[in-house]
Amino acid sequence: MGLRLQITSPEILFSSIFLLLTFYWIAHGDADGVVRVVVTEESDALLPCSPSTRENLQDKLFDWKKVGQGGGTQHQVFMYDSAVHYDRHSGQSEQFKGRVSHFQNELKHGNASIVIRETKVIDSGSYICVFPRLQPHQTFHIELVVVGCDPCLKLENKHGETAGAAPEPCTSIVDVTELGVVLKCDVRGASPEPKVEWQDSEGSILHAEDPQVSERGGRYDVSIQTTVSNTSNNRFHCVATQQLIGHRVQANITVSGETRQDFDVNII
């Protein structure tokens, strides 16, 4: 026997389709139960939440908070308590005022999800959705990643590239010492912060200095140096990885014999 779904309210139909599409494109559940939502800056982010009982929430309490680093500080994002919410009284953090809404018509179906409008990179972080009065007490964890881009209208830009993705690294030779050739790799304007590594031609990670990282407006510049000696082909790779948006890019550099001779150094 097939499953038949009957929806009589256009508003319920719209919000249900919206939820399904949003989950399909940007919501990913981790093994530890944390839902990760990835959006581009200036777009809207839907943070999903629903108690396991799926009970009517119209006369219930649920509370959304953003958790600071280390878990100590909590910023009030949205609170609903028997039809009273932050749009009607004080308590909401300034960062979220006028930007958060819920699905009023979906409360009776157990939907406590919220939408944060016109997201900013600073909105990235860990969120919790808490039902303190339900038995048993229930808390849900959502990780929001807001990818910085300029301009940003969707997850891919007009060139089909992931918004905020690290550009191809810039590699260079900065010095030659008795220990070998010093290589530098620069990645500019990436969001979220990339992990940058030096690798040899076989893909093995090379020992390198601690990366130098700077941040401006949610975009990261990363520089990292390594010292290399002779290999079979003297070819090396700088690799930038942004796991949160599934992006990886690399640039290659070959230390030629002419280069070593120019610096009058014998690399062993």
- Residues 56, 127: one domain? yes
68 with 113, same domain: the answer is yes
Residue 179 sits in the same domain as residue 128:
no
Geometric angle at alpha carbon 259, from 258 and 262, rounded to 5°: 85
Q: Is residue 180 part of a domain?
A: yes
Q: Do 40 and 141 fall within a single domain? A: yes
Q: Which pair of tokens denotes residue 134? A: 């339900």
Q: Give the model's confidence band at 264: pLDDT under 50 very low, under 70 low, under 90 confident, else very high.
A: very low
Assess whether the previous peptide bond of 51 is cis (omega < 30° from 0).
Answer: no
188 with 130, same domain: the answer is no
In-domain check, residue 157: no
User: Residue 51's CB: how many other CB atoms inside 10 A?
Assistant: 17
The tens digit of pLDDT for each residue in 15-61 reads 444 444 333 334 444 545 788 888 888 889 999 999 988 889 998 99
Considering the domain architecture, whether residues 80 and 123 belong to the same structural domain is answered as: yes
Contacts of residue 24, defined as CB under 8 A and 6 or more positions apart, other chains included, come to none
Averaged pLDDT score across all residues of the chain: 78
Across 204-225, average pLDDT:
91
pLDDT grade for 90, boundaries at 50, 70 and 90: low
- Tell which residue, 128, 137, 140, has the closest CA to residue 77: 128
- In this prediction, residue 258 carries a pLDDT of 52
Residue 13 in any domain: the answer is: no
174 & 135 share domain: no
pTM of the model: 0.55
> Are residues 41 and 115 located together in one domain of the fold?
yes
Cα–Cα dist 66/76, whole Å: 7
Residue 145 has pLDDT above 70, yes or no: yes
pLDDT of residue 11: 43
Query: Which domain, by its residues, includes 205?
Result: 170-254
